[in-house]
Amino acid sequence: MKTKIFLVLVAMVAVTVSGCGRNSSNDDISSVKKQITELQQQVENLPNDSAKIAEIDKKIDNLQNDEAETEIAELSQKNKELTQKNDELESQLSALQESGGYEVFVDTLFPSDGKTYVINPDYQDDVVIYSDTTCTAKLEKFPEFASSKYIESNAENGLSIHCYRTINNNIVYTTKTIELKEK
């Protein structure tokens, strides 16, 4: 690359010095010499410029890696906090179930009238029942219900959910209001 630039410079000098059939003045020669000197200086600076570009590329890569590591650390911390919160809630639920508080809670929210309810067969195709509040764990079989009452709520994932009590005192969830009929 340097040799090509040098040959081009030599050719330019030769053409300029010979004047291509005209008489050249000292001013033209000095300006060409100045241009040649500037071009030679630029050629000499090319390795330094290449090193600077490589250094800048390395800094950009390091910044991108640092940002990704920071984001991963933040997501890991959030995951850890949510897992801990879930464990605490499960522990509280177990304690309530053991102390009988869970039954009191379910009886208060979903009072039973002594009847058993099922989903109206005309609407079963439109209904999906879940065992979790985020409506991700689908139940394979429709349960029977101990109460026709339900509670509307919003899940943490933003879904509007409806909560129903089963005959086993479990709470199940759906994203739609379901029509129940007496069994």
Q: What is the pLDDT of residue 61?
A: 81
pTM for this entry: 0.48
Instruction: Say how far apart CA 5 and CA 11 lie, in whole Å.
Output: 10
**pLDDT band at residue 130, thresholds of 50, 70 and 90?**
very high
User: What H or E segment, with its residue span, contains residue 160?
Assistant: strand 160-166
Q: What is the pLDDT of residue 19?
A: 58
Bigger pLDDT: 63 or 142? 142
Q: What is the pLDDT of residue 170?
A: 92
pLDDT-above-90 percentage for the chain: 29
Rounded (10°) CA dihedral 109, 112, 115, 119: 10
pLDDT higher than 80, residue 76: yes
**pLDDT band at residue 27, thresholds of 50, 70 and 90?**
low
